[in-house]
Amino acid sequence: MEIIAIAAMAKNRVIGNAGVIPWRISEEFKHFKETTLGHPIIMGRVTYLSIGRPLPWRRNIVISREPFDAPWVEVFSNIESLLNLLEKEGLEKIFICGGSQIYNYFFDNNKIDRVILSVIEGDYEGDAFFPEFEAAFHKIDSIQKDGFFVETFLKK
C-alpha cells in the first residue's frame, strides 16, 4: 500500500491560514480531485471541519483523539491501528491530505512513500506549514500549470 502525501503549498511553505487554505485556484482543486478520486483520503479533524463535509467518491477517514461524530466519515484516534487495518485490506494507495499536524506525524514517523505537492506561486500569510521533507526524498517530476507547479517526490 503506497502512502502518498498530497498538499498545496505556497513558496514560503504556508498551507493554511486561520483554518482555511488562503488561495482559491480551481485548477488546483481539480488536480486534487482527479488524483484522489476512488482512493481513501485521510485528514485531521481540523481539516475535515474546515472542508465541512465528506468529499464525494472517496472514503473519508478523519483522525481525532476525541470521539467525533460525522456522517459518511470513518473516525480513528490511533494512526498506527488505522494503518494496520488499511494494510490488511490490500489497498493500492491512500492519500494523506493534511493538515500540518497530520503531515508532520506521517513524515516524522517515516510513513510517506510519495509526495504530490502543488507549489503555488508567491508567498502567503499563514499559520499552518508543510514540513521540510525534501532531504529524505528526490524529485521525479515537475509539471507547470496555471499559477502552480505539480511536483512529485519519492522517498530515497
Ligand X SMILES: NC(=O)c1ccc[n+]([C@@H]2O[C@H](COP(=O)([O-])OP(=O)(O)OC[C@H]3O[C@@H](n4cnc5c(N)ncnc54)[C@H](OP(=O)(O)O)[C@@H]3O)[C@@H](O)[C@H]2O)c1
- Contact residues toward ligand X (CB under 6 A) are 7-8, 15-16, 19-21, 43-47, 50, 63-66, 68, 77, 79, 97-102, 105, 128
- For the record, the C-alpha cell of 97 comes out as 491530505
In the complex, what is the shortest distance from the CB of residue 24 to ligand X, in angstroms, rounded to a whole number? 11
* Nearest to ligand X of 82, 87 (CB atom): 82
C-beta of residue 17 within 8 angstroms of C-beta of residue 125: yes
Rounded CA separation 148/117 (Å):
10
Rg value, the chain, Cα: 15
Angle at 117 between CA 91 and CA 133, to 5 degrees: 90
* Nearest to ligand X of 50, 113 (CB atom): 50
* Nearest to ligand X of 17, 91 (CB atom): 17
In the complex, what is the shortest distance from the CB of residue 79 to ligand X, in angstroms, rounded to a whole number? 5
In the complex, what is the shortest distance from the CB of residue 20 to ligand X, in angstroms, rounded to a whole number? 5
> In the chain, which ranges are E strands?
2-10, 14-16, 41-44, 60-63, 74-76, 93-96, 114-120, 128-129, 137-144, 148-155
Distances (CA, A) of 111 to 23, 65, 79, 114: 28, 19, 11, 9
* Nearest to ligand X of 24, 88 (CB atom): 24
In the complex, what is the shortest distance from the CB of residue 34 to ligand X, in angstroms, rounded to a whole number? 15
* Nearest to ligand X of 70, 91 (CB atom): 70
Instruction: Return the SS3 of 61.
Output: strand
In the complex, what is the shortest distance from the CB of residue 88 to ligand X, in angstroms, rounded to a whole number? 20
